Amino acid sequence: MNIPVRIEPGTATPAPVDYRWDEDTDILSAKVEQAAGGRTLSVDVEGRDGSWLILDVSDERIRGVEVAVWPTVQKRADLKPPSVAELSTVKVGRDGGVRAVSAVEVDIPVAAESDDAERTIHFRLGHGRLVRTVRIARDMLLDIDERDRLAGVWLLDVPPFPMTP
């Protein structure tokens, strides 16, 4: 199953991303902004390797990403986010309304790659395909394929994992 989205023009100033590490579980949360209310939805992306990404959706918009179980991360010294990414609002679903569900689970291959410092992390969802990249927040980009389906998530300027004393 794929995650269909709708792309709309974004606001003039991208929202900041608030990153939080849970030191006990290695969970990374990236919150874009607080929802103004309305219907919420959790889109659970389960990788075939047991990895889990959770997309927090409110008012049809992706408001955050949580990496609950990490896929194997490949380090690439040359990993850089796309230099051009149009500022957009991405709404989850093909139609104009969020259905009366609170959670959706999607089973899809998930691959992760990072730069050497692990400050840039790219999650690819599904098999390789042609994508365009859009910016939904200052430090969060989404890859969208030709059929308007979510194909990847970029987390930029990720703080280092806290070291225990």
The string of pLDDT tens digits covering residues 66-125 is 999 999 999 999 999 998 889 998 888 876 554 545 567 778 889 999 999 999 999 999
State yes or no: pLDDT of 165 exceeds 70: no
Round to whole Å and give the CA distance between 101 and 41. Answer: 7
pLDDT for the residue 36: 61
Round to whole Å and give the CA distance between 15 and 29. Answer: 16
Integer-rounded Cα Rg, in Å, for the chain is 15
Q: What angle do CA 23, 160, 17 make, to 5 degrees?
A: 95
Do the beta carbons of residue 148 and residue 163 sit within 8 Å?
A: no
With 0-12 / 13-18 / 19 or more C-beta atoms within 10 angstroms meaning exposed / middle / buried, residue 136 is buried
Round to whole Å and give the CA distance between 39 and 101. Answer: 9
pLDDT for the residue 96: 56
Per-residue pLDDT tens digits for 111-161: 999 999 999 999 999 888 899 999 999 999 999 999 999 999 999 999 998
Tell which wins on pLDDT, 61 or 121. Answer: 121
pLDDT for the residue 38: 66
- Indicate the length of the chain as a whole number: 165
DSSP 76: -
Whether the predicted model's global pTM rises above the 0.75 cut: yes
Per-residue pLDDT tens digits for 20-58: 999 899 999 999 976 566 678 888 898 888 899 999 988
Question: What sign does the CA torsion over 74, 75, 80, 85 have?
Answer: positive
Q: Which two tokens stand for residue 112?
A: 């992760």
Q: Where are the domains of the chain?
A: 5-155
Round to whole Å and give the CA distance between 5 and 16. Answer: 22
